[in-house]
A and B are shown apart, each in its own frame.
Chain A
Amino acid sequence: MRNKLVTAATCLILAGCAASTGVSLLPGEKDDQGQQNETGAVVVLDPGSEQDIRVIDQANSRSGVKGSRVAVKSVTPEVLEAKYGALLTTLPRKPKTILLYFKPNSLELVDPSKIDEVTSEISSREGADIQIVGHTDTTGDGPLNDEVSTNRAKAVITLLAEKGVDISIARASGRGERELRVPTGDNIANDENRRVEITVR
């Protein structure tokens, strides 16, 4: 009750209280295998203290939020679809990650034709951009692998440029042996860790 009075008083002072905020939580997106991902959550925070007021974690719900007041109600997927279907179709396609593997101690791709998968993914998307991240296995020391991973990413940029891709859409980095795809001990050669990951957005 006291909260309501405070909110009402704040409204009189600040105006803008005709505004209302709706939060509609949808089930998680389906992944590439068609499996439904978990529903996430949105938490209403106190605008001043930034402490949690209410966690909204119910899929297919619609909540009205005004300052610290939160009212959650269930709605059917059909209602959400009718209200937000057009908006949701405006969401860009999910980014896709493609892995390119390298021969041992080399900047050569195991399968050079795989680069075509990248170029066709790029041309299938309007306004595409790409993230190129080079990796190594754990043979050799860290600084050397930073350099090798960076050179692998550069080799991919060169290949893409040769295929006519405008590389101003690319961001690239080398992560050395920090992010192994297959966990191994140090100084272990591994075909799956020796790679460049390309995310096409």
Chain B
Amino acid sequence: MQKRSILAVFLLAGLATQVFAAATSDIGRVKVASGIASIVRGGQAIAAKPGFALQKGDILRTGKDGRIGATFYDNSRFATGPNSSVTINEFLFDDTTHDGKFVTQVDRGSLAIISGQIAKKNKDAMRVRTPTALLGVRGTRFVVDVKGS
């Protein structure tokens, strides 16, 4: 049997094409937010809510009792604790090859990370900077906290 190109009539072809265009600069989404929790983009603070699409350069910022959980497109997961400021400096991810680069800066507070496909594919492609350290991520689950800056 010979495979032919299967042509379908897509009722929602316009929508489907838009999903494939992937001209989006989104890199992940907020999944959990509580207390004083915002995303700072271009100097403006936006209240963090589940479903909010994150972009490179965004700062996850929390106040007293604030928390933000986010999942990125390489399946990495973040949780920021109270009184934290975490900047996503770089996020590049190729869905096809899983090559990428993920650089995060923790200026204060705490960040729990479960790393995803970027760290799995290439050693040290995922990095975390703090005021006193540069860390390379070689997998799985850890917490970084920064005190007294």
Which residue numbers of A lie inside 8 Å of B, CB to CB?
A: 16-29, 37-47, 50, 52, 55, 57, 65-67, 84, 86-88, 90-95, 104-107, 125-129, 131-133, 139-140, 144-145, 147-148, 150-151, 153-155, 157-158, 161-162, 167-173, 175, 178, 189, 199, 201
Contact = CB atoms under 8 A, between A and B. Distances in A.
20 contacts: A16-B132, A16-B149, A20-B146, A21-B106, A21-B131, A26-B143, A90-B34, A91-B114, A92-B77, A105-B3, A105-B4, A107-B8, A127-B50, A140-B2, A148-B5, A155-B10, A158-B12, A171-B95, A172-B16, A173-B95
Contacts of A127: 29-31, 49-52
A44 B134 contact: yes
Interface residues of B, number: 69
A66 B96 CA distance: 37
Contacts, number: 231
A43 B79 contact: no
A24 B6 contact: no
Contacts of B1: 104-105, 139, 189
Given A21-B133, A127-B51, 15 more contacts: A16-B132, A19-B132, A20-B147, A42-B137, A42-B138, A45-B135, A47-B134, A87-B67, A90-B67, A91-B79, A126-B31, A126-B50, A157-B15, A157-B19, A169-B51
Most buried by A among B2, B75, B143: B143
Given A23-B135, A67-B132, A92 B144 contact: no
Contacts of B15: 157, 161, 167
Contacts of B50: 126-127
B22 A171 contact: yes
Contacts of B12: 157-158, 161, 167
Given A88-B79, A127-B31, A157-B16, A41 B133 contact: no
Interface string B7-34: 1101111011001101010000111101
A52 B68 CA distance: 31
A18 B149 contact: yes
Contacts of B55: none
Contacts of A50: 134
B143 to A, nearest CB: 4
Nearest to A138: B3
Contacts of B148: 18-20
The 3 A-B residue pairs with the shortest CB-CB distance, nearest first, are A40-B139, A127-B50, A40-B140
A175 B20 CA distance: 12
Most buried by A among B20, B32, B49, B149: B20
A106 B80 CA distance: 45
